[in-house]
């Protein structure tokens, strides 16, 4: 049976998004990509399709260092203090899932800046499983329930991972000792994607955002997590809420990595590949400021469930990049909010910017009338004093080249093993043994041929890696 669209049209390539050149952005005409992402956002009612179980708190970002050479964004100028809400979450579990499960953790921040909302939507890992958004709905299906048995499936997870070697870096992190944080306070956060910073001179710099916990990293073993879950499925929520109520405000050091466009062009791999990190030796961390959480929400539903984050929300001086996953999320996240919450979700108090809003997006459900619009200026352009475009905020042009086609991202860069190898190489013996044990436990019920395929990848990372997992599997 051939793969088709829902209208029966055959799909020639279900692996690679249509891009403008090898490192260019995705094309809006890629209908099947849009269809897959839009459909995924409508697969669950009403909880989030991913990141359903979450906790949040308000706080402040204080900029303590001068990075004005890189960006004109007011929120990132030295001395600036900006209110924010930070939502932590698990990724795969439903709204009733236990907090202490082995999973990636979401780390989504909404900054209420003077220039509009800036949302930085990331995780507690610097990389992700995928680099092409075409495979995101497929990947999430493997983390959710089998539609026949309604059970989570180790088989589906490992089948997908072993057929998609670009996942190995994130899989190694997930199965390591850092796969289960002891609390949201005791883990790092990352913007993960590559973004851009633009300074007053119109110069663009590529950037990665890091948030290093001041509470220290603390993690749980599978056995420790199982004991906690048996007694308290809301362990992370309880820890965050109670610490803030007691005045024990958690904080993180905000840092960035900077890469020039010339450096990006000389890099042996794409700097926009979400499965890879930038070397700290080549691109060292630069201090920016401190993020502190100091206030619990008053109403969980209004302020946490209805909080709507999207990487499409940026401010002057901060921009996007050709990161394929980021470009797809620019569409997918607000589309999810329109479906999950409603057309005018941005008017809800938790999502409303503190800056003035000038928009002609007025019709539709949930418009509370808070937008100040002239009865004669409900379109643009107009002659009646309505909001006008501001060309002074235009970004510098980004040079792109290459043919428009579906580039095979696995052929463009088939180095799936060097970065997981480097990560494995810095683990001590106890961490390696925990990695082996965690992988073996996660393979319970997985078919032999899938296990052998995965072991083949581990062998290419390191013979020690493969041998350790084999031993943990008892073979």
Residues in the chain: 475
* Structural contact between residues 136 and 32, judged by C-beta atoms closer than 8 angstroms: no
Residue 122 tokens read as 């990331």
Query: Is 51 in the active site?
Result: yes
Q: What is the SS3 assignment for 124?
A: coil
| CA distance linking residue 234 with residue 228, whole number of Å | 9
Q: What is the SS3 assignment for 135?
A: helix
Residue for token digits 């308290």?
Answer: 232
Residue 191 tokens read as 């913007």
Closest CA to 154 of 466, 451, 445: 445
Q: Which of 16, 41, 51, 457 is catalytic?
A: 51
Residue for token digits 């509370």?
Answer: 368
61 φ, ψ to 5°?
Answer: -105, 120
Strands 318-319 and 18-20: unpaired
350-353-354 Cα angle (round to 5): 110
81 φ, ψ to 5°?
Answer: -120, 125
* Structural contact between residues 173 and 423, judged by C-beta atoms closer than 8 angstroms: yes
Q: What is the SS3 assignment for 85?
A: strand
Q: What is the SS3 assignment for 289?
A: strand
Query: Is 123 in the active site?
Result: yes
Strands 318-319 and 286-295: unpaired
Strands (E), 169-278: 189-190, 195-198, 204-213, 251-259
| CA distance linking residue 106 with residue 55, whole number of Å | 10
Residue for token digits 């683990």?
Answer: 427
| CA distance linking residue 234 with residue 181, whole number of Å | 13
Tell the burial category of 154 from Cβ atoms under 10 Å away from its Cβ (0-12, 13-18, 19+): middle
| CA distance linking residue 55 with residue 53, whole number of Å | 7
Q: Which of 16, 41, 117, 123 is catalytic?
A: 123
Residue 267 tokens read as 């890099």
Q: Known catalytic residues? A: 51, 123
């Amino acid at each position: 049976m051939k793969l088709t669209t829902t209208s029966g049209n055959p799909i020639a390539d279900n692996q690679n998004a249509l891009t403008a050149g090898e490192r260019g952005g995705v094309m809006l005409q890629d209908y099947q990509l849009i269809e897959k992402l839009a459909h995924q956002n409508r697969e669950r009612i009403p909880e989030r399709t991913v990141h359903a179980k979450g906790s949040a708190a308000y706080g402040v970002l204080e900029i303590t260092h001068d990075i004005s050479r890189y960006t004109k964004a007011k929120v990132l100028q030295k001395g600036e203090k900006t209110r924010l809400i930070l939502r932590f979450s698990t990724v795969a579990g439903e709204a009733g899932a236990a907090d202490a499960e082995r999973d990636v953790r979401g780390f989504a921040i909404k900054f209420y800046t003077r220039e509009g909302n800036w949302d930085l939507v990331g995780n507690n890992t610097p990389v992700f499983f995928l680099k092409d958004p075409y495979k995101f709905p497929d990947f999430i299906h493997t983390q959710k329930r089998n539609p026949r048995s309604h059970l989570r499936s180790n088989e589906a997870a490992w089948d997908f991972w072993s057929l998609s070697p670009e996942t190995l870096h994130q899989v190694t992190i997930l199965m390591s000792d850092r796969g289960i944080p002891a609390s949201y306070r005791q883990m790092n956060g990352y913007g993960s994607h590559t973004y851009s910073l633009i300074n007053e001179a119109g110069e663009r710099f590529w950037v990665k955002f890091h948030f290093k916990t001041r509470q220290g990293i603390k993690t749980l073993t599978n056995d420790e997590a199982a004991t906690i879950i048996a007694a308290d499925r809301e362990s992370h929520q309880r820890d965050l809420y109670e610490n803030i109520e007691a005045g024990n405000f958690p904080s993180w050091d905000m840092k960035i990595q900077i890469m020039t466009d010339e450096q990006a062009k000389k890099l042996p791999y794409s700097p926009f590949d979400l499965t890879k990190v930038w070397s700290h030796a080549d691109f060292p961390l630069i201090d920016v400021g401190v993020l502190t959480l100091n206030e619990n929400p008053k109403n969980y539903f209004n302020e946490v469930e209805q909080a709507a984050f999207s990487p499409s929300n940026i401010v002057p001086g901060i921009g996007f990049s050709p990161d394929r996953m980021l470009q797809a999320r620019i569409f997918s996240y607000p589309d999810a909010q329109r479906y999950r919450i409603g057309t005018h979700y941005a008017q809800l108090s938790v999502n409303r910017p503190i800056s003035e809003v000038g928009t002609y997006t007025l019709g539709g459900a949930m418009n509370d009338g808070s937008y100040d619009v002239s009865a004669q200026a409900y379109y643009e352009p107009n002659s009646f004093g309505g909001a006008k475009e501001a060309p002074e905020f235009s970004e510098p042009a980004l040079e792109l080249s290459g043919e428009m086609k579906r580039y095979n991202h696995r052929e463009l860069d088939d180095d799936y093993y060097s970065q997981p190898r480097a990560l494995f190489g810095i683990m001590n013996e106890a961490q390696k043994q925990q990695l082996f044990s965690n992988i073996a436990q996660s393979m319970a019920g997985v078919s032999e041929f899938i296990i052998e395929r995965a072991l083949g990848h581990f062998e290419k990372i390191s013979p020690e890696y493969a041998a350790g997992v084999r031993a943990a599997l008892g073979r």
